[in-house]
Amino acid sequence: MCNNMILSELSLDDEVILKAFMLKRMLKSVNGEIFAPRSVCVTVESQQNHSSKIVISLGSSLSSTNTPTSWSSPSGLFAFGFYTQDIGFKVGIWLNHCKTVVWTANRDDPPITFGSTLELTRDGKLVLRTEHREKKQIAKTLASAASASMLDSGNFVLYNNDSEIIWETFAFPTDTILGGQNLSIGGTLVSSVSNTDSSTGRYQLKMQDDGDLVWYALNTEETIIDGYWDSNTWQKAPDFLYLNHSGILAIINSTSLDMIRILSANNNNSNTIIYRATLDFDGVFKLYSHKFDESTGENQISIEWKAPDNPCQVKGFCGSNSYCTLDDYQPYCICLPGTDFIDPNQRSLGCGRNFSQESCKGGIENTTSFNITTMDNMMLADVPYAYESMSIEDCMTSCLEDCNCEVAQYVVKYCSKHSLPLRYVRRDTTPSKVFFKVGTASVIKSENGTTPQFMKPTPQPPLVLVKSRNTVMLILVTMGLLTSSCAALAISGIYVYKFRVLKYKRLLQYGNSCITEKLTMQLFSYSELKKATNGFKEELGKGSFGAVYKGTLYKGKMLIAVKRLEKVVEEGEREFQAEMRAIGIN
């Protein structure tokens, strides 16, 4: 809905706010330099009783304990301080009645542990001190603060000695803007990971330089393909997105003070209703109203407006290679044919291919390794690598024979071919055919007969093709001979091994009592000879090449003589053998 509304259609409070906003956007002088702030959110204190604001003096501090402390706004609607996340704490601002977090400091830092403190120091700095005494600055200012306040608008501010705001949380929004807050050109809101984790999520809302308000998947090139909702106000030169205290969310031109586009037209002047506009973790931008009943303490939360209406229109909601569908009005992610969830417990991570493309050869030979699965009314928003005019049959065949093609889309005589991964796949009412190339598999229809599922092919043993009976006989005879040879070698090896082991054992047990004149030589290690001669203790004689020692083998059953050669030469060896014969004869 596009409306051009003049300032007179706004409430008196809104008119004051916008006029003050214009004054604050005028050129300012800092250290003699002139500049015009563009991407900073400028806010105006309205509906605030300055005399009733609670002043936080220098030296004040908060602590993270079992009951973390905070600084509340005068009415108690908002609080600033430590709130719990996981097993630790974060520093932020929340609605007291429902504990809804609307702002977080250093949102991607790990949770703070017990024993940390938040302090407005004596020298005018707002700093966080961890239990290990590490210091992190929460508010970066050029000048030192003289005091601080948590306002009923949800804005935490630092003042100088002249009671001028030198820093405010409204200038640095995370995922939410509140009543009286605006988002200027270049400003962004970034979703959180979840309702319980305020870290940076997957989506962003951006007030672009061209005046268009656009929702994007985060960490993209921010092209038309990456956007999934926009205000279509680029041609009207707006300056900021503004949410007033009565629930009007509008895009405004600050020069003419026109409302270029009203997103939500609530106009409730009740002071007990708080409005907030949040880019939720699912990528949907929602305007919430919080109605407080002071007599009963009840808190009623309602969604006044949201965009897009269907969460499945959020690009990247289901991750790569998957698409979103509604199940009982709730978004549900399904993998594309030929893929499986990377993690079934975290479907937003997307899906990966469940078959290999190594067998892809290209051309007509490729058709034996893959099948084509067709789905209707699917749209691929990714940029194709090929786009040609052809028939639907040629589109399917072309993809099947092309190794680079994994998905093809046919719409009105045109075929677009894609490779995985696909980021932006969705159901669509536009007549279309999408061809998915998958590995050879068995197709199983789901109970409702609409969602195809796929089984990975069971590996089969290689087939041996034979041409004649003679070939079969030759193969059998060869295999029989090989088997017989292997068996014979194994039996021979076992027999020789057992025979030699048995002979050696008997020799060690009984010795050899039939030493002939030609003494059979047997090898012994040095340590065995040393043990047999009791350390070369009893010397029998001494020849020219070494001494001869008395020894025993086989537990004393056999006497031996051991000559310890001093010169290893041929003559010494012959002399040793002669001495052995002589000893043996004696």
User: Does residue 187 contact residue 175 with C-beta atoms inside 8 Å?
Assistant: no
Cross-strand pairs, 89: 84, 112
Q: Are strands 330-335 and 322-327 parallel, antiparallel or unpaired?
A: antiparallel
CA gap 37, 22 in Å, rounded: 12
187, 176 Cβ separation under 8 angstroms: no
Q: Which of 438, 418, 416, 433 is nearest to 366 (CA)?
A: 438
Residue with tokens 């010169």: 567
Helices (H) and strands (E) in the chain, counts: 5, 42
**Omega within 30 of 0 (cis) for the link into 461:** no
Rg (the chain; Cα; Å)? 44
Tell me how far CA of residue 463 lies from CA of 73, 460, 466, in angstroms: 80, 9, 10
Q: Has 361 been labeled as part of a binding site?
A: no
Closest C-alpha to 170, from 139, 147, 146, 203: 139
Taking the chain, what is the end-to-end CA distance rounded to the nearest angstrom?
Answer: 129
Q: Could you check whether the bond before residue 308 is cis, i.e. omega within 30 degrees of 0?
A: yes
Q: How crowded is the C-beta side of 247, counted as CA atoms within 13 Å?
A: 22
3-state secondary structure 97-152: CCCEEEEECCCCCCCECCCCEEEECCCCCEEEECCCCCEEECCCCCCCCCEEEECC
CB atoms within 10 A of CB 38: 12
Sheet holding 539-542, edge to edge: 539-542, 546-553, 558-565
Backbone CA torsion sign across 305, 308, 310, 315? negative
Residue 150, classified by CB atoms within 10 Å of its CB into exposed (0-12), middle (13-18) or buried (19+), is buried
Give the 3-state secondary structure of 235-285.
HHCCCEEEECCCCEEEEEECCCCEEEEEEEECCCCCCCEEEEEEECCCCCE
Q: Are 276 and 175 in contact (CB under 8 A)?
A: no
Query: Is residue 137 within 8 Å of residue 125, measured between CB atoms?
Result: yes
Decide: 227 and 211 in contact? Cβ < 8 Å.
Answer: no
Residues flagged as binding site: 563
Residues flagged as binding site for ATP: 563
